Structure 1
Amino acid sequence: MAETIQRKFLNDSPVARWTALVLIALMMFFGYMFVDVMSPLKSLIESARGWDSGTFGTYAASEYFLNVFVFFLIFAGIILDKMGIRFTGLLSASLMVIGASIKFVGISEWFQGTGLCAWLDSWWVSFPGSAKMASLGFMIFGCGCEMAGTTVSKAIAKWFKGKEMALAMGLEMAIARLGVFAVMWLAPMISNHFDKSVVAPVAFCTVLLIIGLLCYTVFVYMDRKFDRQLIAAGELKEEKSADEEFHVSDLKYIFGSKMFWLVALLCVLYYSAIFPFQRYAPNFLEVTLGIDAESAARLFSCFPILAMVLTPFLGALLDFRGKGATMLMVGAVIMIACHLSFAFLLPAFPSKWLALLLVVTLGVSFSLVPAALWPSVPKIIDAKILGSAYCLIFWIQNVGLCLVPLLIGKVLDATGGYTVPMIIFSSFGVLAFIFSFYLKIEDRRKNYGLEKPNII
């Protein structure tokens, strides 16, 4: 009888809630693989399709174009809060598959000889038709991927409320980052196996996205059962009251929150120093160390390893000990040191072991941030507008992720080297440290609980 009471809801079962986490994390794992599948192939795509660094930077930025300039992520937040995690998750996974398929067609050999490609080549001639088509697909994929990220965050907040939320978010990010590690190894291997093909790795990752859609479909059935249990227990209503229902006017509570803006600015600064760097890192190591593209990709694949190991432990530390704002400050300091070392130390002492040390250490910074940042949002934002808050944070983040690759591509073409881009990345870390320090002061003044443990 006691056991029955203890496991009143599906998420009270450790097996059920961690299975749910694995299912949704796999969708993000495959999504992260697709995001970076072209990164270790930069030199190859440039020679095979006539791209340059500026073209590659524009292509990389296209992932965020619709999210930023058409405000898709803001609409995604409204969809998430109105329609829930099941509908929104399936929609986002489907958009990823559709966008990936278009990108696959755009870089395929078959497409290069079509009339559509010839027409695309006829305007904005400095940007090849293959890049235009690939960018269109990447835009649609980016809508789905960013929507999926916010949906997964809200799903974890629901399934792990009062439980190991930071640990769960940390593990989800660790599994997702494993995708970066995997694709840095697999993309060159698959490409070499198919005679230096840029198409085969993209096709492989597109198939994995379909599997991710199937994984989320299984989670949908689990979540539907969980909701039925909550409704039967009176903890969730089938029809929400006017006060409980999300209204667009509720967004004013997000925009009026100083803490929200601090977290959002921290997010865009941290991730603008990481994700755009990932796009160029294999080529940076290839040029700086004088090694081939495959060796550079394998070297950079170590980036997420320490992050994968540390993030769950840091999440557990937050759950039981707290100190979230302090972790953000430490992460900023590590980021500054690593990017400055990439700018000046590694070119002066071009060693694979030094490069490996810096890459892995940067991964530590990347593990501190999500473990501390994302679990802090439910502490400062009401649950009924949590999805919109996450999407608005992702939208602000996407502004940086869209513009920074463009900036880095232009700077590379103008300077011909990576020193200035690395200084730019380190400057983001300096600003992040300032904002994280201010966040800690505000938390101490108003007692939001960012430094407190999640499990009391």
Structure 2
Amino acid sequence: MEEEDEEARALLGGGPDAPRPLPALCDPGHLAHRLVVLLLMCLLGFGSYFCYDNPAALQTQVKQDMQVNTTKFMLLYAWYSWPNVVLCFLGGFLIDRVFGIRWGTIIFSSFVCIGQVVFALGAIFNAFWLMEFGRFVFGIGGESLAVAQNTYAVSWFKGKELNLVFGLQLSMARIGSTVNMNLMGWLYSKIEASLGSAGHMTLGVTFMIGGVTCILSLISALVLAYLDQRAERILHKEQGKTGEVIKLTDIKDFSLPLWLIFIICVCYYVAVFPFIGLGKVFFTEKFGFSSQVASAINSIVYVISAPMSPIFGLMVDKTGRNIFWVLCAVATTLVSHMMLAFTMWNPWIAMCLLGLSYSLLACALWPMVAFVVPEHQLGTAYGFMQSIQNLGLAVVSIIAGMILDTRGYLFLEVFFIACVSLSLSSVVFLYLVNRARGGNLNYSARQREEIKLSHTE
């Protein structure tokens, strides 16, 4: 024990008689050190979220410089989603059983970096197929890196701190998306002025510079792995585990309410992310905004989500009534899309509504899975939910591009309205099924607490 104490003192700043510089920052058990770790966790996903919507920020430039139509443009999003139809099941397994959290995070961060570099090289060499391959590689790392990020959070922060940490991580992710939407167009224009003309070379250099954020995330992964290993040695702390137990045979036991939750999830998100991917040009063409203003409007969903997600999460925790909040979120999204489709009202209003409803839905919908699935099946249920969400996003991205090429933005908005309407119908059906079965999905927080207490007694 004395040898271990001496090793810990040496790691924290010298021998027993030596001065200890910045002892709080060097002590893995101290709050200051854990705050440094939290900052690294937040930076871990910054690059991935920044680069995910690089195509949306430069939609016009990509289509012009690479000479592709909207259908091919949206393949850049479809190729990101395809690997995650499978990796949602395998990501947690690879982290727990194969790589470990530290090597897993470094490997997935590397995939994100390599994918972004290949994507940028595709533009530089005027090879769109190479850009698609880059997005595929980027997708392999992107979603699994989010799993690793959450695993680190659970490992370092327990109890009441955890919800706040998840909220801060989500906020940093949304900040990354927002900065991308508002920075990449400006960066492209500066590089265009420097090179003397627009074209695929300008596009590629812009994407390559954007990839610096992915290198920042990889550096964070390396430092985080070192600090986590050091904390394990000093505090005898176990390596983080996702806790996911994936058994595909569990799918046959999924209940009707769970399948309805899946339908709500897919039909909702396919009307949000593909729309944001195409939104910038929509705002310039329909409303006549400049490119910079259109980018700002398109990013407002993420801007609102950053501060509101933790607030809505707390509100749903305190009130319960998950189905009611999901119903409010989906209905508000439907109103938002109808305003964008059929009116010339200032789109700031509709997009602010979309940002609020998007934040609320995430806080109310995803926790419902835990209310209808036994604990030992949670990993499978969440993995399947993410899998079909990515399948829906991949397919709808292609369909949205085809509709836009052949019919225009009005038909595209009608398509999104149909998707949200299906989601809304599923929420109503879920409410009726839950009520008929005496389920707890729409219980108040007080009712759930009373049931929990009665079971413990």
Aligned to 1:212: 217
1:368 aligns with 2:360: yes
Change over 3 Å in CA distance of 1:359–1:218 after alignment to 2: same
Task: Give the Cα–Cα distance (whole angstroms) in 2 for the partners of residues 46 and 88 of structure 1.
Answer: 35
CA offset at residue 190 of structure 1? 0.5
> 2:424 is paired with a residue of what secondary structure?
helix
Q: Residue 311 of structure 1 aligns to which amino acid in structure 2?
A: S
Aligned to 1:58: 75
Normalization by structure 1: what TM-score?
0.79
Aligned to 1:407: 399
Task: Give the Cα–Cα distance (whole angstroms) in 2 for the partners of residues 133 and 400 of structure 1.
Answer: 24
Q: Deviations 1:229-282 (Å, cap 9, x if unpaired)?
A: 9977xxx799x9xxx99776x333355232543443332222211110111000
- Determine if contact 1:169/1:315 at 8 Å carries over to the other structure: no
1:78 aligns with 2:113: no
- Determine if contact 1:81/1:386 at 8 Å carries over to the other structure: no
Task: Give the Cα–Cα distance (whole angstroms) in 2 for the partners of residues 228 and 328 of structure 1.
Answer: 45
1:355 aligns with 2:372: no
2:106 to 90, 94, 99: 90
User: Following superposition of structure 1 onto structure 2, how do residues 121-160 of structure 1 map, counting pairs within 5 Å?
Assistant: 130-157=127-154, 159=156
Task: Give the Cα–Cα distance (whole angstroms) in 2 for the partners of residues 306 and 413 of structure 1.
Answer: 30
Aligned to 1:289: 287
Alignment root-mean-square deviation, CA: 3.4
> 1:273 is paired with a residue of what secondary structure?
coil
Change over 3 Å in CA distance of 1:237–1:340 after alignment to 2: closer
Q: Deviations 1:82-128 (Å, cap 9, x if unpaired)?
A: 345434332221111111111011001xx23xxxxxxxxxxxxxxxx
Task: Give the Cα–Cα distance (whole angstroms) in 1 for the partners of residues 244 and 226 of structure 2.
Answer: 24
User: Following superposition of structure 1 onto structure 2, how do residues 185-200 of structure 1 map, counting pairs within 5 Å?
Assistant: 185-195=182-192, 196=198, 197-200=202-205
Q: Deviations 1:12-69 (Å, cap 9, x if unpaired)?
A: 976566654443332222211101112121111222221111221222211112333x
CA offset at residue 150 of structure 1? 3.2
- Determine if contact 2:322/2:442 at 8 Å carries over to the other structure: no
Identity %: 25
Task: Give the Cα–Cα distance (whole angstroms) in 1 for the partners of residues 298 and 372 of structure 2.
Answer: 36
User: Following superposition of structure 1 onto structure 2, how do residues 8-407 of structure 1 map, counting pairs within 5 Å?
Assistant: 19-68=36-85, 71-83=86-98, 84-108=100-124, 111-112=125-126, 130-157=127-154, 159=156, 162-195=159-192, 196=198, 197-224=202-229, 250-258=247-255, 260-346=258-344, 349=345, 354-377=346-369, 386-407=378-399
Task: Give the Cα–Cα distance (whole angstroms) in 2 for the partners of residues 169 and 145 of structure 1.
Answer: 17
Change over 3 Å in CA distance of 1:226–1:365 after alignment to 2: farther
- Determine if contact 1:90/1:216 at 8 Å carries over to the other structure: yes
Change over 3 Å in CA distance of 1:245–1:306 after alignment to 2: closer
Task: Give the Cα–Cα distance (whole angstroms) in 2 for the partners of residues 89 and 158 of structure 1.
Answer: 14
- Stretch of structure 1 that moved more, 436-445 or 309-318: 436-445
Change over 3 Å in CA distance of 1:32–1:336 after alignment to 2: same
- Determine if contact 2:153/2:166 at 8 Å carries over to the other structure: yes
Change over 3 Å in CA distance of 1:308–1:48 after alignment to 2: same
User: Following superposition of structure 1 onto structure 2, how do residues 428-447 of structure 1 map, counting pairs within 5 Å?
Assistant: 428-440=419-431, 442=434, 445-447=438-440
Task: Give the Cα–Cα distance (whole angstroms) in 1 for the partners of residues 167 and 239 of structure 2.
Answer: 30
CA offset at residue 439 of structure 1? 4.6
- Determine if contact 1:74/1:395 at 8 Å carries over to the other structure: yes
Q: Note the residue ranges of structure 1 that are not aligned, 5 or more in a row.
A: 1-9, 113-129
Q: Residue 452 of structure 1 aligns to which amino acid in structure 2?
A: A
CA offset at residue 319 of structure 1? 3.6
- Determine if contact 2:54/2:184 at 8 Å carries over to the other structure: yes
Task: Give the Cα–Cα distance (whole angstroms) in 2 for the partners of residues 379 and 156 of structure 1.
Answer: 23
Q: Note the residue ranges of structure 2 that are not aligned, 5 or more in a row.
A: 1-26, 193-197, 453-457
Q: Residue 117 of structure 2 aligns to which amino acid in structure 1?
A: S
